[in-house]
Amino acid sequence: GQQLRALFYALPPGESSFRSVEEVPDYVEKSIPFFIAFIGLEFAVSWVRKRKLSGRINDGISSLSLGILSRLPDVLFRSVDLISYIYVWNNYRLFELPWDSPWTWYLTLLGVDFAYYCFHRISHEVNILWAAHQVHHSSEDYNLFTALRQSVLQKYTSWIFNLPMALFIPPSVFAVHLQFNLLYQFWIHTEVITNLGPLEWILNTPSHHRVHHGRNPYCIDKNYGGTLIIWDRIFGTFEAEDAKVVYGLTHPVNSFDPIMLQLRPLAHIWNTFWATPGFCNKLSVIFKGPGWGPGKPRLGLPGEIPVITGKEVPFNPSVPGYLNCYAVVHFAVIVDLYTELLGTVTVLSQGTILLRIGFIILSLTSFGLLMENRPKAGILEIIRCLIFVGVYRLGYLRSQFSYLSYAYEV
């Protein structure tokens, strides 16, 4: 019950206040079964209502691959959000609010959400930050898989916005709300919930967040809130859902390769930087909006946003049905190996951890290329399978389910 309520930010102060950071549960990891259950429920509701599924296999695997990729650095290092926050708290705090006060709990709710609004808005308005954040917007579907599509790089800039709270809010309270704010944003990535009535005035809802993910001109740079929509209403970035939303980037990346999706925007900035004349213009390429160019306003010209006709076709290469089945089965194996890695990371050597991470990245890349029907994807997949058999037999990879060992090798 607690984990389910955590998804909706519905654990009150009495149930989610802790004296130290070490006592704070890993709400995100414990919510994984609910992620799976809600994704299944979304598929069922969509099928009953529209006689079609709420997503595609290629896009779903791509989103989940990006989600796994974004969490791999946490296997090696403690969260940069908490490390930086605890450092400022230990060395520079001005005063200490009581960790067990409901007032501290509610103030932190507002503080974390406002910091998220600021960071999220700047991530859309500063090109180098957008290069990381755009990963989350790259899906042309909008479903609960999309919520798990995250950037590897984004967390290395977002931490700065939380530091003012470290001057007076205990780290244990912050650690709870950092997770709750993230978890709340999972369930709003859906089309099966239409309108929530009066709650639409205060909370960020699926309707508001659909606008945020749209590439229609009216959707661009709107509805940045995490849990609350009040910040958008206050600062003039709110837009209600109107014309049918077409999802994705204004200039789609057209790839399911998780490495390509993470790095191509950075390559684009690099190339544009060197191709743009003038030192100040070069800096503007990095620090102004992604739509900026010499002679344009900071955020670019709204008239240059591609017009939406309603006839846009998502990137969807044709692959045989057996290949889709193959990718789903092998992706399930990788999810098993990934969760086993999370559960045993404290007892593994650094070399084994790096080997497992490397194999997971190789696998996710191979699946992405298979879903794109690339000519040489089959060769990479054969190499990947041979590596798997070798390292599995040597004991460097392990399943959570020992009885599946022989099946995995087959």
Structure tokens at 368: 């992405």
Q: Say how many C-beta atoms besides its own lie within 10 A of residue 3's C-beta.
A: 16
Closest C-alpha among 23, 286, 262 to residue 138: 262
Residue that wins the pLDDT comparison between 394 and 217: 217
**pLDDT computed for residue 404 by the predictor:** 78
**CA distances (Å), origin 82, targets 30, 79, 156, 227:** 19, 6, 12, 20
| CA–CA–CA angle 183, 185, 186 (5° rounding) | 70
pLDDT of residue 246 exceeding 90: yes
Neighbouring C-beta atoms of residue 404, cutoff 10 Å: 12
Partners of 320 in the β-ladder: none
**pLDDT, mean of residues 80-93:** 96
Per-residue burial over 295-312, b = 16 or more CB atoms within 10 Å of its CB, e = otherwise: eeeeebeeeebeebeeee
Confidence at 402, pLDDT banded by 50, 70, 90: confident
Looking at residue 38, its pLDDT comes to 96
What is the pLDDT confidence band of residue 407, given thresholds at 50, 70 and 90? confident
Amino acid 189: pLDDT: 98
Mean pLDDT on 80-104: 96
Predicted pLDDT of residue 387: 95
Residue 78 has pLDDT above 90, yes or no: no
Band of the pLDDT at 284, cuts 50, 70, 90? very high
pLDDT band at 24 (very low <50, low <70, confident <90, very high): very high
Mean pLDDT of 78-105: 95
Q: What is the mean pLDDT of residues 327-341?
A: 94
Q: Give the tens place of pLDDT for each residue, 184-223.
A: 999 999 999 999 999 999 999 999 999 999 999 999 999 9
Per-residue pLDDT band at 410 (split at 50, 70, 90): confident
Integer Cα distance of 407 and 392 in angstroms = 12
* Residue 343 pLDDT level (bands cut at 50, 70, 90): confident
Q: Is the pLDDT of residue 77 over 90?
A: no
Asked if 231 contacts 117 with a C-beta cutoff of 8 angstroms, the reply is yes
Cα 110 from Cα 102, distance rounded (Å): 13
pTM (two decimals): 0.94
Alpha carbon 158 to chain centroid distance? 13
For residue 401, the model assigns a pLDDT of 82
Region 249-276: mean pLDDT is: 94
Which pLDDT score is estimated for 244?
93
**Hey, how many other C-beta atoms are within 10 angstroms of the C-beta on 163?**
16
Q: Which of the residue ranges 30-39, 75-84, 163-172, 187-196 would you say has the lowest mean pLDDT?
A: 75-84
Mean pLDDT of 80-100: 96
Reduced 3-state DSSP string for the chain = CHHHHHHCCCCCHHHCCCCCHHHCCCHHHHCHHHHHHHHHHHHHHHHHHHCCCCCCHHHHHHHHHHHHHHHHHHHHCCCHHHHHHHHHHHHHCCCCCCCCCHHHHHHHHHHHHHHHHHHHHHHHHCHHHHHHHHHHHCCCCCCHHHHCCCCCCCHHHHHHHHHHHHHCCCHHHHHHHHHHHHHHHHHCCCCCCCCCHHHHHCECCHHHHHHHCECCHHHCCCCCCCCECHHHHHHCCCCCCCCCCCECCCCCCCCCCHHHHHHHHHHHHHHHHHHCCCHHHHHHHHHCCCCCCCCCCCCCCHHHCCCCCCCCCCCCCCCCHHHHHHHHHHHHHHHHHHHHHHHHHHHCCHHHHHHHHHHHHHHHHHHHHHHCCCCCHHHHHHHHHHHHHHHHHCCCCCCCCHHHHHHHHC
User: Which of 56, 126, 95 lies closest to 318 in space, CA to CA?
Assistant: 56
Give the chain's mean pLDDT: 94
**Percent of the chain, pLDDT > 90?**
84
Give Cβ neighbours of residue 122 (< 8 Å, ≥ 6 apart): 129
Q: Is the pLDDT of residue 322 over 80?
A: yes
Q: Which residues pair with 214 in a beta bridge?
A: 247
Quick one: pLDDT at residue 186? 97
pLDDT at 285: 96
| pLDDT(143) > 80 | yes
CA distance 68 to 347: 21
